[in-house]
Amino acid sequence: MEKMPVRAENLFASFPQLRAELEQMKVAHHFRTGGIIFRAGEIPLGLYIVQEGLCKLEAISECGAAHTLRLVGPGGVLGYRSLFADEPYHASAIAVENTDVYFIPKVEVMHLFHKHPEVTLRFLSHLAKDLRAAETKWIHQIDKGAPQRVAESLLFLSEKFKHANWTRREIAQWAGTTTETVIRTLAQFEKEDLVAQAGREIKIIDRERLIERAEI
Amino acid sequence: MEKMPVRAENLFASFPQLRAELEQMKVAHHFRTGGIIFRAGEIPLGLYIVQEGLCKLEAISECGAAHTLRLVGPGGVLGYRSLFADEPYHASAIAVENTDVYFIPKVEVMHLFHKHPEVTLRFLSHLAKDLRAAETKWIHQIDKGAPQRVAESLLFLSEKFKHANWTRREIAQWAGTTTETVIRTLAQFEKEDLVAQAGREIKIIDRERLIERAEI
DNA sequence: CGTGTTATTGAAGTGTATCAAATTGCGTGG
DNA sequence: CCACGCAATTTGATACACTTCAATAACACG
């Protein structure tokens, strides 16, 4: 299975001095579950650093379906792709659970880059890894079946964050399939003793074989 | 239709001084059609700037199918994603037609970044746009049908480069489908007077309606 | 002039989306 | 605290677009 890297480290967190500088310029915001940090189409004015909680980047396709592009947990950064590309956001950022973020204005980011070139390189590396993840996702969408993608998603999401209950819909939006297919696949996995479902909860029982299931 | 941006400009090309520096360190290589610039799994040692010709980044999936991730023409750069992510290449770079490239060792690149921070930002922007393209491709894979993706691919590929004859297989590998489906779709498009096929050549007749066809 | 790649066509199978309808679970307000 | 209402879940039936496999034809290239 392609391991989707979970990078929880703060992109800015290395230098004590840097941390102090950030303290100066940051603006704290709180969002409750479902809250919208920014919307597709808006112009990026800066970056959002996730302090606590979990956010998803959600794109609505032309036919009205929602797809989850990326997930960002504590230490992660929101809004950098559009900011650096100098484009409007092409996805919305939504809090999956109660979330605290710090906003850093664009000028401050640029100033930071100027003062600490290593940070720029850090972002370069980060974007490069995101690009790989996205390209891998495309390939898997092509030549893996829905069950494999669901297995993969279960593994990834469970590792990514203890966000207790991923709904079947959320899993579907991450896996690139429909809610119904996720449900039927989970039923099948349960029959094979790979997972156990208690109400809405999903528990992975046999991680080993689930990994195999994601690969076949 | 999502416009996949064609960025032919050289990422390094802005400053005369920079150009001069590049001249110093570059190493020229030539590849004929089908030649392999680098292979998936190898460790990146630097960047390749495409001077003349056209290259594709091709990933072979677990089940043995080839998929075209990106295309890079004159002025474009090969191998930056893996270099910046500090990972082995996850795709191979292959010359689609006779191609001249310049190789720039990693140390030189880093030195360049150090000396000209704006160049780093240029790459940041470039990667950000590639990421968007990849995410868009994933979404389209999910909720567009094969004919729409073929239409989209025809438009993109014809704009991207006058690389005279894209084979049906190459189109399929870009569109995320099979050769047979491309063939049948082209036959359908021909019946609708959107394209004309003369032997292996494909000519777009009604660009307007083909764009519509990619959107439906 | 052969030999391998590319193109073409046909038949068959199947995985998944889609639609619809019933049920469960959860939060909220009365 | 219970009841209500809405969202999430579940199940079934149906349709069909696309892949897959196979076999032939056309073409390019050495």
Q: What is the pLDDT of residues B72-85, one digit of tens each?
A: 999 999 999 999 99
Query: Could you tell me if residue B150 is inside a domain?
Result: yes
- In angstroms, the separation between the Cα of residue A35 and the nearest Cα of chain B is 23
| Mean pLDDT in residue range A6-10 | 52
User: Tokens at residue B193, please?
Assistant: 């007077």
Structure confidence at residue B141 (pLDDT): 98
Residues above pLDDT 70, as percent of chain A: 94
Q: In this complex, do A127 and B131 lie within 8 Å of one another by their Cβ atoms?
A: yes
| Count of domains forming chain B | 2
Name the residue range of residue B208's domain. 144-214
Distance between CA atoms of A4 and B90, rounded to whole angstroms? 13
Structure confidence at residue A9 (pLDDT): 58
For A200, which DSSP code? T
Q: How far is CA B1 from CA A62, B35, B215, in A?
A: 9, 33, 5
Which of B141, B158, B174 corresponds to the end of one domain?
B141
Same domain for B137 and B148, yes or no, is no
Q: Which of A91, A131, A138 sits opposite B141 (nearest CB)?
A: A138
Residues 6+ apart with CB under 8 A from A110: none
Q: Which of A61, A65, A81 sits opposite B131 (nearest CB)?
A: A81
Q: What's the pLDDT band for A216 if we cut at 50, 70, 90?
A: confident
Query: Could you tell me if residue B78 is inside a domain?
Result: yes
| Mean pLDDT in residue range B129-144 | 97
| Mean pLDDT in residue range A9-35 | 80
Q: What's the pLDDT band for B122 if we cut at 50, 70, 90?
A: very high
Q: Is the pLDDT of residue A14 over 80?
A: no
Structure confidence at residue A66 (pLDDT): 96
Contacts of A61 in chain B (CB under 8 A): 139-140, 142-143
Distance between CA atoms of B161 and A164, rounded to whole angstroms? 49
Using a 7 Å cut-off to protein CB atoms, list the covered nucleotides of chain C. 6-11, 15-20, 24-26
Which of A141, A168, A192 corresponds to the end of one domain?
A141
User: Tokens at residue A178, please?
Assistant: 């429909």
Query: Could you tell me if residue A40 is inside a domain?
Result: yes
Same domain for A100 and A131, yes or no, is yes
Q: What's the pLDDT band for A148 if we cut at 50, 70, 90?
A: very high
Q: What is the CATH number of the domain that holds B77?
A: 2.60.120.10
Structure confidence at residue A13 (pLDDT): 67
Same domain for A115 and A89, yes or no, is yes
Instruction: Pick the residue from chain B with its C-alpha nearest to A90.
Output: B132
Distance between CA atoms of A54 and A72, rounded to whole angstroms? 6
Look over chain B and give the mean of its residue pLDDT values, rounded to a whole number.
91
Q: What is the pLDDT of residues B35-80, one digit of tens each?
A: 999 999 999 999 999 999 999 999 999 889 999 999 999 999 999 9
Q: Which of A125-129, A170-174, B12-16, B169-173 has the lowest mean pLDDT?
A: B12-16
| Mean pLDDT in residue range A190-202 | 95
In terms of C-beta density within 10 A (0-12 exposed, 13-18 middle, 19 or more buried), how is residue B14 classed?
middle
In terms of C-beta density within 10 A (0-12 exposed, 13-18 middle, 19 or more buried), how is residue A194 classed?
buried
Q: Is the pLDDT of residue B118 over 50?
A: yes
Query: Could you tell me if residue B128 is inside a domain?
Result: yes
Lookup result for tokens 């950000």: B128
Query: Could you tell me if residue B203 is inside a domain?
Result: yes
Q: Is the pLDDT of residue B146 over 70?
A: yes
Q: What is the CATH number of the domain that holds A172?
A: 1.10.10.10
Contacts of B132 in chain A (CB under 8 A): 81, 85, 87, 90
Same domain for A31 and A123, yes or no, is yes
Q: Is the pLDDT of residue A36 over 60?
A: yes
| Mean pLDDT in residue range B142-169 | 92
Q: Is the pLDDT of residue B10 over 80?
A: no
Structure confidence at residue A2 (pLDDT): 40
Query: Could you tell me if residue A74 is inside a domain?
Result: yes
Q: Which of B91, B123, B130 sits opposite A124 (nearest CB)?
A: B123
| Mean pLDDT in residue range B121-146 | 97
Query: Could you tell me if residue B3 is inside a domain?
Result: no
Q: What's the pLDDT band for B9 if we cut at 50, 70, 90?
A: low
Structure confidence at residue A20 (pLDDT): 75
Q: Is the pLDDT of residue B7 over 50?
A: no
Q: Is the pLDDT of residue B26 over 90?
A: no
Q: What's the pLDDT band for A41 if we cut at 50, 70, 90?
A: very high
Lookup result for tokens 């829905």: A146
Same domain for A126 and A197, yes or no, is no
Same domain for A107 and A188, yes or no, is no
The answer to whether A71 and A96 have CB atoms below 8 angstroms apart is yes
Look over chain A and give the mean of its residue pLDDT values, rounded to a whole number.
91
Structure confidence at residue B4 (pLDDT): 40
Which of A117, A141, A165 corresponds to the end of one domain?
A141
Q: What's the pLDDT band for B8 if we cut at 50, 70, 90?
A: very low
Residue lying closest to nucleotide C26, CA to C1': A200
Same domain for A183 and A106, yes or no, is no
Q: Is the pLDDT of residue A6 over 80?
A: no
As a rounded value in angstroms, the CA-to-C1' distance for B101 and C27 is 62
Residue B179: nearest nucleotide (C-alpha to C1'): C7
